[in-house]
Structure 1
Amino acid sequence: MLYLTALNPTDSVLDGLLPAADALGVPVTVLTDRPDDWPETVPARGCPVRDPHAVTETVRDGPAPAGLFSNSDHLQAATALAARRLGLPGKDPEAARRCKDKAATRQAVAEAGLDVVRARTLTPDEPPTFDVFPAVVKPRDGVASEDAYLVADEDDLARRVTEIRGRRPDASLVVEEYLPGDVRTHDTLGDGETLTVLGGWRTTLGPPPTFTELCLEWAPAPPATADAVQAQLDALGVRFGACHTEFVVHRERPRLIEVNDRLIGDRMDLVLADLLGVPLFEYVIRLHLGEPVADFDLPAPASIGRTARVEYVCAERGGTLVAAPGPVDTVRDGVRLGCRPLRTVGTTAERTGTNRDYLAVLHAIGSDPVAVGRALVEFRAGLDWVVIT
């Protein structure tokens, strides 16, 4: 039995990992603290998945485990610790903790002598002071750019901290210097010994003060940059499973933004698998069943002969989504195009300035970057989303 810990249902699990497990002939049990949120077709079992002891005991009470893992930012450390206690392949629990804890990430990289980002942690009762601006304030254990803001001065910082604490009164925050430069990603798979680079993307962000990803273009990092990023991941102990790293390149030097110890999200993992032409989700599962990366047929990122562009359609205001295109797949001038909804018609939501505002994701895959970009522009122009307040 393969055990997968999760919170709410995600496309990565429903459209990626579960079909991959089925293709491999591996039965799956999803352990979740929200079993009623999952489709009836998914074998979900209730479990307080943030508690490694509870996860360990739940697995021990079920069919013999062949593997245990998670694709959730929130559950990596707890799941890794449970896997270790059960003697199963998995991530280093301490490395998973360092990746999730943004202050610990900075400390580990600094102690390795690789980069120093000026930063401080604000506990829930500490005054919001800092001495370097512009700066970024965000939850110490946050994800998906939620409650992450660019701040210009101490007054701006104080306003944002008050706002965040109104929603997260018990959360510690991190304030750190703003890192200018082109935003990139570095995506990897590892078996504990060997780490293989899947590729990377150049990211376009929306306007400040938030950091919403609007567009990603296939752009694997050159070897020198990839090696420098990997040295920082080594300092964190990242060696196993999937990992999605975000960094900036400033004056030819890569500097980490954050390390997400799982696959790239928001359907980018599904696009990546399509672009590379590999069963990426099967490979992730096989790693957690104990297979080495060397057994996988992974192409060198620079050799695939294809490129891709992904764009997110964001709600421009809060309200109810009343009309939207359904899933669409088509081919235009040799470019494969797709649209996948990320919000259900009839859903009402506030605007957050994060990827929670996404209505849909569009992608284009082809051999020529110019043709890919042109085809995606024309494709998007023929689609409409309607949000009413």
Structure 2
Amino acid sequence: MRLYLTALNPTDAVLDGFLPAASRLGLPVTVLTDQPENWPPHVPVQRCAVRDPAAVVAATTAGERPAALLSNSDHLQAVTALAAHCIGLPGKDPEAARRCKDKALTRQTVAAAGLDTVLSVIIGPGDDPGRTASRLPYPVVVKPRAGVASEDAYLVGDADELVARITEIRRRRPDPALVVEEYLAGELRTYDTLGDSTNIVPVGGWRTGLGPPPTFTEQTLEWAPPAADPAAEQVRAQLDALGVSFGASHTEYVVQDDGRVRLIEVNYRLIGDRMDLILAELLDIPIFEYVIRLHLGEPLTALAVPDPGSVPRHALVEYVCADRSGTLVAAPGAVDDHRDGVRLHCRPLSRPGSSIHRTGTNRDYLAVLHAIGPGPAAVRDTLNAFRADLRWEIS
């Protein structure tokens, strides 16, 4: 019996999370990818057209019998779910995965359930953006209908700026449809869950700090576990409407002054950018093993998932972002430290000699720093002192 993982490019979630977890569970792994040349030599990869469900089915049934099939890629959730369904393996509802990936469909589904209505229009590749721009209430956000990692997502203040942004995006991405929607002001939070199709439970939540507009780069995340309050109930209701009920999910939302929860997006996989590894450390649970075990067909009740609100630790994460394009000439390597009861870590995401092209997105991350300790004040102060000792230089 073998675990099959579908993936595009190598990620820390797969390399440092799922592969070691599968090994601890005694499961041999094959990574199905259309980019085998980009993966480290020690990873067992097999070339596959992973955006084609028929190709994924063929790859998983031609060799050793599959025990489970899963993906942690935003782009491959629906395809992988459909392939798992075709060969009778536990997995996500393919339509639910599609509703989460398609940002316009997410809005339509939640509105149809009577839970929230966000003004949202689709601009196709051949559409004239000027016709739509003049009819919108500003500010608005423009982003790819199936985008990820805040790429090509911009806050726009008026019609002329919207047309200019769409023209700019079209030069890089001539074909994908774009979504223009009302800007949702409020405190940005996350709601992270595990599910077994019968029930889902929260495993965490973070308060997110963004960089300056017009882009939406996440710069800090501070532990803020969801409570049994009206906001959490609203999030759960909207996830139920979308059909999110299996495996891992990561939801971003804002809470407005009147208490309304407005979804930003639902990523039907673990939280990313090493936050999944940090969450596992904070909760002290093997979260990657848990995801695999759910895809093996185990129920949630078999997993020792703690109530995130009862965890006696606090965490703060900071991303070091490139402030300009150039060449990274100086950067620390991996650093682990322990000061005054606080665990500190620095993990490089770019190394000296790397060419840096600043995008205003999560692709600008040079490193991720995190601190885990007994309380917010100690964690913040210790992380600030830790960061002051580290240096990054771009020339």
Q: TM-score, normalised by structure 1?
A: 0.99
Alpha-carbon displacement from aligned partner over 1:206-265 (angstroms, at most 9, x marks no partner): 000000000000002221211110100011000000000000000211110000000000
Residues in 2 aligned to 1:160 and 1:351: alpha-carbon distance in whole angstroms: 17
1:362 corresponds to which residue? Answer: 369
- Offset at 1:321? 1.1
Residue 115 in 1 paired to residue 120 in 2?
Answer: no
Maintained 8 Å contact 2:349/2:366: yes
Cα pair 2:34 2:47 within 8 Å, conserved: yes
Moved more, 93-102 or 124-133: 124-133
Partner of 2:284: 277
Counterparts in 2 of 1:14-25, with a 5 A limit?
14-25=15-26
The equivalent residue for 1:311 is 318
In 1: Cα distance, 2:353 partner to 2:198 partner: 47
Equivalent residues in 2 for 1:235-250, closer than 5 Å: 235-250=241-256
Question: Which residue identity does 2:102 align to in structure 1?
Answer: D
Q: SS in structure 2 opposite 1:66?
A: strand
1:23-46 Cα distance to aligned partner (Å, 9 max, x none): 111110000000011111100000
Task: State how far apart, in whole Å, the 1-side matches of 2:351 and 2:95 are.
Answer: 37
The residue correspondences of 1:174-213 to structure 2 (distance < 5 A) are 174-213=179-218
| Residues in 1 aligned to 2:101 and 2:65: alpha-carbon distance in whole angstroms | 29
Partner of 2:69: 68
Q: Deviations over 1:91-137 (max 9, x none)?
A: 00000000000000000000000000001000011122241110000
Task: Please name the residue that 1:256 is paired with.
Answer: 263
Contiguous gaps of at least 5 residues in structure 1: none
The answer on 1:104 being equivalent to 2:98 is: no
Q: 1:233 aligns with which of 219, 223, 239?
A: 239
CA displacement at 1:346 relative to structure 2: 1.4
Aligned to 2:302: 295
Corresponding position of 1:320: 327
The alignment yields a C-alpha RMSD, in angstroms, of 0.6
2:39 maps to which residue?
38
The Cα shift of 1:55 comes to 0.5
Q: How many residues align?
A: 388
AA of the residue aligned to 1:270: L
Matched, 1:166 2:171: yes
Whole-Å separation in 1 of the counterparts to 2:387 and 2:217: 19
Worse-superposed segment, 341-350 or 110-119: 341-350
- Superposition deviation, residue 350 in structure 1: 1.0
Runs ≥4 residues deviating over 4 A: none
Partner of 2:8: 7
Partner deviation per Cα, 1:60-113 (whole Å, 9 max, x = no partner)? 111100000100000000000000001000000000000000000000000000
Q: Could you tell me how far 1:320 is from its partner in structure 2?
A: 1.1
Corresponding letter in the other structure for 1:249: V
Structure 2 unaligned residues grouped into runs of 5+: none
Partner of 1:371: 378
Structure-1 separation of matches of 2:172 and 2:98 = 23
Check whether the contact 2:328–2:352 (CA below 8 A) recurs between aligned residues.
Answer: yes
Distance in 2 separating the partners of 1:254 and 1:51:
35
Distance (whole Å) between structure 2 residues aligned to residue 87 and residue 271 of structure 1: 33
Q: Deviations over 1:277-326 (max 9, x none)?
A: 10000000001111011111111111011110000000000111121111
Query: What CA deviation, in whole Å up to 9, does each residue of 1:151-209 have, x standing for no partner?
Result: 00110100000000111100100000000000000000000001010010000000000
Partner SS for 1:376: helix
Aligned residue type for 1:318: S
- Equivalent residue for 2:392? 385
Say whether 1:336 aligns with 2:337: no
* Residue identity (%): 66
Question: Is contact 2:226-2:308 (8 Å) kept?
Answer: no
Residue 58 of structure 1 and its aligned partner are, at CA, apart by 0.9
Identify which range, 223-232 or 196-205, moves more after superposition. 223-232
Say which SS state the counterpart of residue 275 (structure 1) adopts.
Answer: helix
Which AA in structure 2 matches 1:109? V
Kept in 1, the 8 Å contact 2:202–2:226? The answer is: no
Q: Which amino acid aligns with 1:280?
A: I
Q: Which moved more, 1:122-131 or 1:375-384?
A: 122-131
Alignment-derived partner of residue 275 in structure 2: 268
Question: CA shift at 1:349, angstroms?
Answer: 2.5
Q: CA deviation at 1:343?
A: 1.2
